[in-house]
Amino acid sequence: MENISSERVRLSVGEAQSLSLAVLQKAGFDAEEARIIADHVVDAGLCGYEYSGLPKILNVVEHPLLREPRRRMRVLRETANSVLYDGGNHNGMITMYHATQTAIAKARDSGIAVVGVNNSWMSGRSAYYVDMAARAGMVGIHSVSSRAHVAAPGSKGPVNGTNPVAFAFPTTAEPLVIDLGTSAFMGTDLQFRERLSTPLPEGVAMDAQGQLTRDPLKVATLLPFGGYKGFALALAMQALGVLAGAGFGDDKIYGYLMMAINPELMLPGDDFRRHMSEMMARVKAAPRQPGVDEIRLPGERSARERARLAREGLEIDRKIYEALLAVPKGRLPELH
C-alpha cells in the first residue's frame, strides 16, 4: 500500500485482490464466492471504473438481502440451449458468473444459448460477462432489469431500473465490448457519490418532489439517457428481465439474461473474427474532424486503463479504504 496523498491510497493489484478477499470472507462469503466477487471488482477498478471497483464490496456487504435466507442455485427450466435459474438470493456477481459459464458451454454444444437468472441481486459490471463469452469465442449479449429507480419521460417517480445492456464480439485481438446503462447516471456511481458527498452532474436525477437535484443524498429518481430512446431501451431490458422470471414483486426485482452465440452457426469462426477486426479497422481509419486525434471504439479506453493500472496499481479514496477495513465480521445464512 502506498499513501499518495492524505485522501487517496494506492494498492498494487495483488494488494487490492488480497484486501477484497479478506473483507469478503470476513463478511461471511466462502473462499470461492469471495474469489468470484473479488476478481470482478478488481477488474472493474483496473478498467478505470473506480465506483464499480473496491467500493462495490461495501454495497454488497451492506445490502439488506445479504442476511436473508439463501438457497443453492437451482434449475427451474432447462432445454438443450437454455436454462432458467433461481439464484437462491445469492449476489448477482456469483450467479451471473455461473450463468455465463453455462451459456458458453451450451453454445459450444448447440450453437446458441440463453440463460436467465432471477432471485438474485447486484450483478456488477455487465461487460465482465460478455467479455468472458467473447474470450471463449462466442458473441455475448447480457441484459439486466433491476429495482425501479429511473423515471419515464414525464413521470415524477421511477418506473424502470438502470437496466444496462452489453455486447461483446471476438476478434483477432481484444474483443469488441459495448456496455451501456439506459439511465443518465448509474446507480453504483450514485452510491459511490453518496459515500463521499460528491455532487452529481447536472440534469441526471430528481428529488422526491420531482425537481432536478445534484445532491446525491436527495436523489429519489434517476432520469433515462436520451429521453424516449433511452426509456424505450430500458423498457426492453425490463421486458427481458420478465423473460428471465423477474417481475416487480419484493422477491423478484432483478432479472438477468445472458446469451452466447457461436459464430460457427453462420460462418467459420476464424473468418468472423477476421471480418470483425477489418470492420473495426475501417471505423478507426475514418477521416477525423479537426482536433480529433483518434476515433475511439467502445471498450478501448477500458482496455488501455487495464493495461496501465495493472502496472501502476489502483487508487481508492481513503474513506473507502478505511470503510473496507472496518467491515464487521459476519456470517451468512446457511444454504438450504
Give me the pLDDT at residue 332, please: 92
In the 8-state DSSP scheme, what is residue 156? S
The answer, yes or no, to whether residue 6 has pLDDT greater than 80, is no
Quote the mean pLDDT of the chain.
Answer: 94
| Residue 28: exposure state from Cβ atoms within 10 A (0-12, 13-18, ≥19) | middle
| Average confidence (pLDDT) over 112-131 | 96
The Cα 212–Cα 151 span in angstroms is 12
Q: What percent of the chain has pLDDT over 90?
A: 90
Q: Pseudo-torsion of CA 134, 260, 117, 61, nearest 10°?
A: 0
Give me the pLDDT at residue 218, please: 95
In a domain, 280, yes or no: no
The Cα 111–Cα 107 span in angstroms is 4
| Average confidence (pLDDT) over 76-88 | 96
Give me the pLDDT at residue 4, please: 53
The answer, yes or no, to whether residue 71 has pLDDT greater than 60, is yes
Phi, psi angle pair for 236, to nearest 5°: -65, -40
Tell me the pLDDT band of 247, cut-offs 50, 70 and 90.
Answer: low
Show the DSSP H helices in 220-317 as ranges. 228-243, 269-284, 300-312
Residues 6+ apart with CB under 8 A from 37: 20, 24, 29, 57, 60, 91, 93, 94, 124
CATH number, domain with residue 79: 3.30.1370.60
Angle between helices 300-312 and 31-46 (to 10 degrees): 110
What would you report as the CA-atom Rg of the chain, rounded to the nearest whole angstrom?
20
How far, CA to CA in Å, does 133 sit from each of 98, 144, 155? 12, 16, 37
Q: 320, 299, 326: which is closest to 43 by C-alpha?
A: 299
In a domain, 297, yes or no: no
In a domain, 38, yes or no: yes
In a domain, 278, yes or no: no
Amino acid letter for position 222:
L
In a domain, 333, yes or no: no
Pairing of strands 82-91, 112-121: parallel
In a domain, 276, yes or no: no
Give me the pLDDT at residue 314, please: 96
The Cα 316–Cα 53 span in angstroms is 9
The Cα 236–Cα 240 span in angstroms is 6
In a domain, 335, yes or no: no
Residue 209 is part of which domain span? 2-269+302-325
On whether the pTM is more than 0.85, the answer is: yes
In a domain, 283, yes or no: no
The answer, yes or no, to whether residue 25 has pLDDT greater than 80, is yes
Per the structure, how many domains does the chain have?
1
DSSP result, 197-245: TPPPPTTSEE-TTS-B---GGG--EEPBTTTHHHHHHHHHHHHHHHHTT
Give me the pLDDT at residue 334, please: 84
